[in-house]
Structure formats: structure tokens, C-alpha cells
Amino acid sequence: MMRISTKGRYALRIMIDLSHQNNGEPVSLRSVAERQNITLKYMEGIMTHLLRARLVVSIRGKSGGYYLARPAEEYTVYEILKAAEGDLSTVHCLSTPKNMCPMSEHCSTLPLWSGLQDVIKNYLESYTLADMRGQDEAQRFCDCTCD
């Protein structure tokens, strides 16, 4: 089963947090870590992936920090999760551009897995970081007692 790990879930939370703080000033990783209840050490590893994918920009120095490289509307949840997780394939044989499985030409299940992967990708691409930020804001004012 395809699972989104803690790294992917936290990457999304970090990006949502940065989008809330998007006032032109760099945001310290420590402040994000405190708001999101994520250890600074773990966040540093996640930020490496987000930086490598050019989803965030880093400013060094005393008043340094991170900010979004683009407006929140231009990010999809898919690209954020892909940056953090790497492979989001439903099955191993679909994890490379060219399917190396010797059975791929005769595999009766491959169309199922390929179709499922397309559905998941399309769904995650249909949500932007701005959409997630809006959902986050709505939940802040929710009176429900659910977790």
C-alpha cells in the first residue's frame, strides 16, 4: 500500500505554515518548529528536500530563514509530497520512467496500478497550497471536538 510518511505530512504542514507567514520576511525554522510541534532536527532534513526541489528559498544570517519561492496558488500538494517523499508510485515497477519488469508487457494487473497511480496524482494535483491554507484557516475556527 502506498503511504505518505511523516516526512511528507510534515513537509505539507511546513509549507502551509510558511504560506501563512508569507509577508516578504524570512521565517525562522525554529518558529515553524514551535508552531507545528516538529523537532528542529527533523525539520532541517525535510527542508533540505524542499530546498533541493526549489519550493522554498533560504536566507542565511541573523535575520535569515525561509520563505516560499512562489505564490501559494502555484504549488500543488503533489509536488510538495513528491519533493519530500521522492517516489509516490503505487507499485515498484511504476517507480521508474521505463518499466524494467520483465512481465510488464504481459502483466494483467499493470493497467490497474497505472490507473490508480494516475487517479492519486490527479487528485493531489487538484489541491494547491492556497487550498490547504484555506482549509487550515477554516479548521482554526471549528467548534467541533473531533481530532
Task: Write down the pLDDT at residue 64.
Answer: 87
Average pLDDT of the residues in 50-63: 92
> Cβ–Cβ contacts within 10 Å for residue 137, how many?
11
For 6-140, the fitting CATH number among 3.40.50.11440, 3.40.50.720, 1.10.10.10, 3.40.50.970 is 1.10.10.10
What percent of the chain lies above the pLDDT cut of 70?
90
Q: How far apart are alpha carbons 38 and 105 in whole angstroms?
A: 45
pLDDT band of residue 3 (cuts 50, 70, 90) is confident
Q: To the nearest whole number, what is the mean pLDDT of the chain?
A: 87
Residues sharing a CB contact under 8 Å with residue 35, sequence separation 6 or more, in sequence order: 17
pTM attached to this predicted model: 0.85
φ, ψ (nearest 5 deg) of residue 129: -60, -35
Task: Write down the pLDDT at residue 146.
Answer: 47
Give yes or no for residue 12 having a pLDDT over 50. yes
Q: How far apart are alpha carbons 69 and 75 in whole angstroms?
A: 10
